Chains A and B, each alone.
Chain A
Amino acid sequence: GAGVSQSPSNKVTEKGKDVELRCDPISGHTALYWYRQSLGQGLEFLIYFQGNSAPDKSGLPSDRFSAERTGGSVSTLTIQRTQQEDSAVYLCASSFQYSNQPQHFGDGTRLSIL
């Protein structure tokens, strides 16, 4: 059984460009989460999906950040007009529906903005 898969694993892009990060959750997991982790730091919550809807978008840093999920499965996190402060590792996790379940993480996308 596959775990959570994220692509690309690394992304280097110029300031001002748009980037799309992809997450394939574990099959059957209805909840999907995006986090951001700066070097040597903890995880910063960005957004959470239950099915295709996002009940909690409170962590998105600005309106340049958006995310969607289709078919209750794959999710994409889009960052428009990237800035250098967007450089970080973006982690995706999935879990079963209920809140007391462990989250299963992908290995992340390391995003570097030049």
Chain B
Amino acid sequence: SQQGEEDPQALSIQEGENATMNCSYKTSINNLQWYRQNSGRGLVHLILIRSNEREKHSGRLRVTLDTSKKSSSLLITASRAADTASYFCATDGGAQKLVFGQGTRLTINP
């Protein structure tokens, strides 16, 4: 079964708007990672947040982690057409095994 579940499954917004995606998970974690996947390509690592961190920034990306609620959010500010992709959260399911959610398909309309 999937550890992480993203919400919403699909999101369509206008260029320049902010996009927020959420991830919930079930068991305790050491870290949570977010990845992006463009159509027909592999996944690209965006950001890693450790269980003792609450917020992390990288450029236009902001990730929050609430371990008490077992949830994380990814915010993309000032979205661009190039941000159109699927976004996945992944949690460490023990040892070095990452468990991925089903992903959020983000579409940025020009």
Could you tell me which A residues sit within 8 Å of B by CB distance? 4, 31, 33, 35, 41-43, 45, 48, 50, 55-56, 91, 93, 95, 98-100, 102-108
**Min CB–CB distance A5 → chain B (angstroms):** 11
Residue of B nearest to A6 (CB): B42
Does A45 contact B99, Cβ atoms closer than 8 Å?
A: yes
Interface status of B30 (Cβ within 8 A of chain A): yes
Does B96 contact A43, Cβ atoms closer than 8 Å?
A: no
Chain B residues with CB below 8 A from A105, complex form? 35, 42-44
Q: Per a CB cutoff under 8 Å, which of A4, A42, A98 touches B103? A: A42
**Min CB–CB distance B78 → chain A (angstroms):** 24
Does A99 contact B33, Cβ atoms closer than 8 Å?
A: no
30 example contacts (A-B, Cβ-Cβ < 8 A) are as follows A4-B42, A33-B97, A35-B100, A42-B101, A42-B102, A42-B103, A43-B43, A43-B100, A48-B95, A48-B97, A50-B96, A55-B95, A56-B95, A56-B96, A93-B42, A93-B43, A95-B96, A98-B96, A99-B30, A99-B95, A100-B30, A100-B92, A102-B33, A102-B45, A103-B45, A103-B98, A105-B35, A107-B40, A107-B41, A108-B41
Q: Per a CB cutoff under 8 Å, which of A35, A43, A56, A102 touches B48? A: A102
Chain A residues with CB below 8 A from B99, complex form? 45
Chain B residues with CB below 8 A from A35, complex form? 100
**Min CB–CB distance A10 → chain B (angstroms):** 10
Does B41 contact A43, Cβ atoms closer than 8 Å?
A: no
Chain A residues with CB below 8 A from B101, complex form? 42
Residue of B nearest to A110 (CB): B40
